[in-house]
Structure 1
Amino acid sequence: MLGLVLVLVGGLLAAWTQSSGGQVRIRDVRFTGANGQQLSALLYVPGGVSAEKPAPGILAVHGYINSREVQSDFALEFARRGYVVLSLDQAGHGFSDAPAFVSGYGGPAGLAYLRGLDLVDKNNIGLEGHSMGGWTVLSAAAAYPDGYKAMVLEGSSTGSGRAPEGTLTYPRNLALVFSQYDEFSQLMWDVPRAKDVTSSPKLQKVFGTTETVQPGKVYGDPAAGTARVLYTPATTHPGDHLSHEAIGHALDWFGRTLTGGTPLPASNQVWHWNEVGTTLGWLGFIALVLGTGGLLLHTRSFEGLRRAPSAPRGLTGAGWWFSALVMLALPIATFFPLFRWAGNVLKPSALWPQSITNQIMVWALVNTLVSLMLYLIWRAGAGRRAQAVTAPTTPPDLAVAVDTAGAPLATAPAPRRGNEVLGALAVALGAVGVGYLSLLLTNFLFKVDYRFWFVGLKPMTPTHLRMFLAYLIPFTLYALMTATVLHNQMRRHARGSMLTNALLLAGGFLLFLAVQYGTLLTRGQLFTPGEPLNVIVAIQFLPILAILGVFMTYFARRTDRPYLGAFVSALFLTWYIVAGQATQFPL
């Protein structure tokens, strides 16, 4: 019931915010791009806009391995000001067809679609893109040089290798929002620190000056299309999405350069309520999965899986703390090396078509293998100690059956292992299935998903489902090994601790990110400045691994076995990763 309430309240709040209290209509649209590639977008249409009363239009595009929902905070603020907004899924992202990176990332087709709407004023169109979304709108501008009036690049640059370098006339009326702690300063503007962007020769060329660019100063002439301005909000590259300052600069610039719309101060922003609503949806989803699984365990079909928690039989004392340090350190020690190796060797293919998912899969499998070896070493040592203690001292007529770690076994006949595993799998499918159904309804009714920032849980397309099945086995092996370690080796109390297990899985990434961003905020660079993308990818590991810790602990408490929690975690993890990543191989 708690899950249902959170999902409903969150969906209503997010929908009310995005629609500006019902004043903006939001439609899920599909259209055909180059080479027959189907693209997806959310179309925001303010009230009162029609073919007879057209409004300015804005094409808004997310960055790499994101989707159209990540730009929703920008899109809803644009729509509140009377702009028709097309929030595009880049090619190979979200609900748009694979592969990624083709046909200008889908940008030219998106601009053509927006210009084709009779309710859009074709003389007043703006382009806004974050990170690789900036390269998407640049490609659109290059394809239709007279098809737009102004552009905002958020954390992006004018040179992508796929669009021409910036000049005084391209792009037209440019606002660059480049944050003071942007992780991609070297890639975007050839400077080691984001705060040095004002002295970037590449940027100075775009601004038509050889001197240090002054933030906030407008260079050039808006009437001639040569206007330039630099804004430097105090946030990070992904932080642009949660920055009143960064969003406000985009609102200001389009207010200056586009004619029409509804006058509204840039400081008047409500997007944070959208974030609250979609975050409530996340929490509701977790509660639904836990609650549904718990209810299924009380049905006649699955009540045999329920058991009271047994006494802990794992590590204690210094041994536990040493193993905890290994669990914290191993995922971080292998993160960069395995990501680099997999990125170079395991290229996207028909079987495994997502580059970053392949990297995560290799990381998970290697960690699984190392954990298995350490676990077997511990089991062998625990078995020898148990035999040394029990064999000489226990009379035969008083012997108690013990497992290899010395813990007493249940006296009741145990169910067959195969039936137990299949039952756990059925409950997991039911629990995650109810969560999936809730997301489908939320997406259909409210046009939102479960999301905080760029950590979002999206519905899968049929193509995603095919990929889900291909990636499911590797991630199931990872989940089974992890759940076994938490339940058998690291459990210190009968019921286990959700907080402890969440920290064991995610704590290493918490420390890793603290070091990375502590260095960024104090010195202007990440601790590993050459790995900005992988550091940002690691941010998602923090909440997702914590959720896995909750799932594994909750269901282990109720079944005294690791299987159910592992299966729930594997289904959830595979779904989350596959639906949220870019697909590079054409399917």
Structure 2
Amino acid sequence: MKQHTAIGGAGLGLIISLVLCLLCGLMSNLAQTDAGHVTKETLSIESPSGHRLSMDMLQPKSATPSHPAPAIVFAHGGNTNKEKSDDFQIEWARRGFVVVSFDLYGHGESEVLNNQEWLVNGRGLYDTVEYLTTIPFVDTNRIAVSGHSRGGNTVHESILIDNKRTKPLIKAVLYVSRDPVYKDNETAAFGYVPGKTNVVEAAKKNDNGKYFNYYKGRTVGVLAGKYDDYSFKEKDSKTGRIKPNPQYLKSNNARSFLNFGKTPTPQTPNGISGRWYTRQISGRKASHVIYMENGTHGTVLFLSQPCTDAVQFMVRAFNIRTDLADTDHIYPVKMIGGLLGLIGLFLFMVYGTLCMVRLNPFQEAGSDTPALMRQADTKHGGSAWLRGCLVASTVFSVASSLALFGFRVDKHIGTYFRQGMPLFYGIWGCLNAVFMIFLTLLWYRMFANKNGATPQSFDITIKGRRLRQTITLSLTVSLMAILLIFACKYFFNSDYRFWYWAARPFTADKIPEMLKLFPFFLLAYGAMSVFTNCLNYNTSFGKSNWGNITLLACFNLLPALLIALAGYGYFFTTGVNGLFGNNTQIADWMLTPLVPLAVMPLVSRAIYRHTRNPYLGGIITAVIVTVMTCINSQISFPA
């Protein structure tokens, strides 16, 4: 009777997970198409520079060959992909713009190039602009570009190319979390590709540079986060210290930009957020504007006010007539749908496993009896040992992450490992796992073994047929979860994503990178599952199952959370992102692993409770984390 109940509960959970995945697709499609008023198409083209370029195009029904519409090309930031900023894209398309977002070279489904060649043609941005001039429903006299973070760099480089044209193509520019170009010497290395770009003349400029108007007669806007981790920083000439980010509008850089490249003096007034500064340049009315946003480098992409300002900028820049208010947003529907989809995917990992483990080919991977919480302190000192191991693991994890940043593992691009960000997370998890295993062996030798404990009593031992079925079942469930991701793209042209976290389809060139990094994540999440379930499923960490796993999950994410809180806490207090010296990305990079570190212990525990097999959850979570990490990161290799 208990077995039938377990099967019934798993079946219901599986149905709920699939319903959530379906809701994600429906809600995402509703928002992306504005309930049928916009068409979304994913394209893969050979770009004007001769490389494969992947892009999403949102075409309003009002954009036709007889009534061509203005167009916006959006460039995403580093180590992400074209869908990350789709709130801006959705809202622009609803107001009549043709919107194209593309994967930078080496990202998403675009071609992987070496670490110099990928800079060609604005890393794909200017290739996309040139491609738009061939589209009959695009007004080629009204093309804007926008970019977030590294995407802002692609804007820099594309303007350099566009300025050389007799008739420039780009009429308006919106930077998101990226400084505009202030001084002439900044252009020296833009888009530099050996043998293709002549930068000699630019390199001869004064080393200190002179303020100038890089944008000529274009309309240019900036969405500047008050607590941007990377951008909007300026040294005080008197003290040599970085000025606080919230004072950006008082900086020389901002005042020069708002005055079209004029060198600021003490009499130059400070900038005003949201105010449009205009001037006639070469017979054309040009405008510059800075919007100060209450956000960080990454969160500016997801908050309502920056989206409102992005809408206002483009509507005003091209004098678009629309019945929609700037604050009229539908993109939260997609954000909620994406969150439901991620929850559905995680639930599928659990309930798909619990359903399939009851099938004949996989039965030996499970257990006829569920795991029971062990009583703590049946032997004096047991709780102290376990809690001490958790504290030691936390301290080591914080120290190891900072050490890896110091060794610049996150920046590594080699001939074998070609993704710096996943390599950093993989090695970090691996180091923590090795330290955890060391502590466990120490605990077992110094305490558990002396008190009669055996590996069998902790469900650690596994071999033979059970091991083979465990591996087969884990890979089967993982493959089915990946198929769900591809199904969402196929049927709804969407994916499962919320803020920093996304599960999306991938091309074949990602698979070798996943296979290289999978052993790191397998050791990390396999050890995490054993540590969480076999060793710590006891009343030392809560007398109920939920209390126990909640506390353990909190400890699992604690190192990343402590670093993020410390970095941002210092930043929010002082206005300067300087807690970790010149490495301003550390706090931001510690936000990305928070969800997998918090969620995967819950997934592995739910599987372990019903199967008494810690390796099922460990392998499945390792596969999915590897996929989610690698598909959202750039691939490159040395020239």
Give, in whole Å, the separation in 2 of the partners of 1:434 and 1:446: 18
Tell me if structure 2 keeps the 8 A contact 1:56–1:259: no
Q: Is the 8 A contact 1:339 1:363 kept in 2?
A: no
> SS at the partner of 2:112?
coil
**1:148-170 residue CA offsets vs partner (Å, 9 max, x unmatched):** 21111011022474268983251
SS at match of 2:222: strand
* 8 Å Cα contact 2:226/2:295 also seen in 1: yes
Paired residues of 2:234 and 2:251 also in contact (CA < 8 A)? no
How far has the Cα of 1:325 moved from its partner?
1.8
Does 1:564 pair with 2:586?
no
Look up the equivalent residue of 1:334 and give its one-letter code. S
Quote the residue 1:151 is aligned against.
173
Q: What's 1:579 paired with?
A: 631
1:442: how far off?
Answer: 0.5
Number of the residue aligned with 1:93: 107
Q: Using the alignment, how far apart are the partners of 1:39 and 1:201 within structure 2? A: 38
SS at match of 1:178: strand
Q: What is the DSSP-based 3-state SS (H/G/I as helix, E as strand, rest coil) of the residue aligned with 2:445?
A: helix
Instruction: Return the offset for 1:301.
Output: 1.5
Tell me the secondary structure at the aligned position of residue 289 of structure 2: strand
Match of 2:212 among 164, 167, 182: 167
List per-residue Cα deviations over 1:496-541 (Å, max 9, x = no partner): 8432332121123233323322332232234436333232121111
Q: Which of 358, 361, 364 in structure 1 is aligned with 2:429?
A: 364
Inter-partner Cα distance in structure 1 for 2:448 and 2:395: 27
- Paired letter, 2:277: Y
CA RMSD of aligned residues (A): 2.6
Identify the residue that residue 397 of structure 1 maps to in structure 2: none
Q: TM-score, normalised by structure 1?
A: 0.90
Any conservation in 1 of the 2:146–2:174 contact (CA below 8 Å)?
yes
Instruction: Give the Cα separation in 1 of the matches to 2:629 and 2:413.
Output: 15
Counterpart position of 1:229: 289
From the superposition, tell whether residues 9 and 524 of structure 1 become closer, same or farther in structure 2 (CA, over 3 Å): same
> Could you tell me which residue of structure 2 aligns to residue 455 of structure 1?
501
What is the deviation of 1:384?
4.3
Instruction: Provide the residue aligned with 1:287 in structure 2.
Output: 347
User: Size of the alignment, in residue pairs?
Assistant: 567
Aligned residue number for residue 119 of structure 2: 102
Residue equivalent to 2:397 = 331
1:195 aligns with 2:216: no
Displacement of 1:313 after TM fit? 8.2
Matching residue within 531, 534, 539 for 2:586: 534
Cα distance, 1:311 vs structure 2 = 5.5
Contact 1:46/1:83, CA 8 A, preserved across alignment: yes
Residue equivalent to 2:7? none
Q: Partner residue of 2:601?
A: 549
Q: Which amino acid aligns with 2:437?
A: L
Contact 1:495 1:557 in 2 (8 A): no
Q: Which moved more, 1:197-206 or 1:125-134?
A: 197-206
TM-score by length of 2: 0.83
Q: Secondary structure of the equivalent of 2:388? A: helix
Q: Provide the residue aligned with 1:523 in structure 2.
A: 574
- Identity of aligned pairs, percent? 21
1:383-429 CA distances to partner (integer Å, 9 max, x unpaired)?
44225xxxxxxxxxxxxxx6169x4999xxx9x70322221111111
Q: Secondary structure at the match of 1:556?
A: helix
Q: Secondary structure at the match of 1:36?
A: coil
2:89 to 75, 79, 102: 75
Indicate if the aligned counterparts of 1:552 and 1:565 stay in contact, CA closer than 8 A: yes
Alpha-carbon distance, 1:118 to partner: 1.1
Secondary structure (helix, strand or coil) at the match of 2:360 reads: coil
Structure 2 gap segments, 5+ residues each:
1-14, 192-201, 203-208, 237-241
Is 1:320 aligned to 2:386, yes or no?
A: yes
The alignment status of 1:492 with 2:492, answered yes or no, reads no
The answer (yes or no) to whether the contact 2:564–2:586 under 8 Å persists in 1 is no
How far apart are 1:357 and its partner, in Å? 1.6
Q: Which moved more, 1:378-387 or 1:573-582?
A: 378-387
Paired letter, 1:148: I
**Are the counterparts in 2 of residues 32 and 109 from structure 1 also a CA contact under 8 Å?**
no
Which residue, out of 199, 205, 216, partners 2:274?
A: 216
What's 2:197 paired with?
A: none
Out of 373-382 and 192-201, give the one that drifted further.
192-201
Indicate the SS of the match to 1:96. Answer: coil
For the residues of structure 2 that align with 1:446 and 1:262, how far apart are their CA atoms?
A: 27
CA distance in 2, matches of 1:225, 1:581: 40
Q: Show the counterpart of 1:60.
A: 74
Q: Which residue of 1 aligns with 2:257?
A: 206
Equivalent residue letter for 1:578: C
Q: How big is the shift at 1:337?
A: 1.3
Q: Secondary structure at the match of 1:76?
A: helix
Question: CA offsets per residue over residues 184-237 of structure 1, 9 Å max, x none?
Answer: 236689954221212332333333341222222222327725321111011111
- The aligned residue for residue 399 of structure 1 is none
Contact kept, 8 Å, 1:16 with 1:22, in 2: the verdict is: yes
Q: For the Cα contact (< 8 Å) 1:39–1:91, is it kept in 2?
A: yes
Opposite residue 180 of structure 2, the aligned amino acid is T
Q: Contact 2:29–2:492 at 8 Å: present in 1 too?
A: yes
Evaluate the alpha carbon distance shift between residue 425 and residue 255 of structure 1 in structure 2; reply closer, same or farther with a 3 A threshold: same
> What is the SS of the residue equivalent to 2:585?
helix
Q: Which range moves more in the overlay, 496-505 or 89-98?
A: 496-505
**Which residue number corresponds to residue 50 of structure 2?**
36
Q: 2:402 aligned with 1:352, yes or no?
A: no
Alpha-carbon distance in structure 2 between the residues aligned to 1:502 and 1:108: 45
**Secondary structure, aligned partner of 1:234:** strand
Residues 1:419 and 1:124: Cα distance change in structure 2 (over 3 Å)? same
Query: Deviation of residue 81 (structure 1)?
Result: 0.3
SS of corresponding position for 2:286: coil
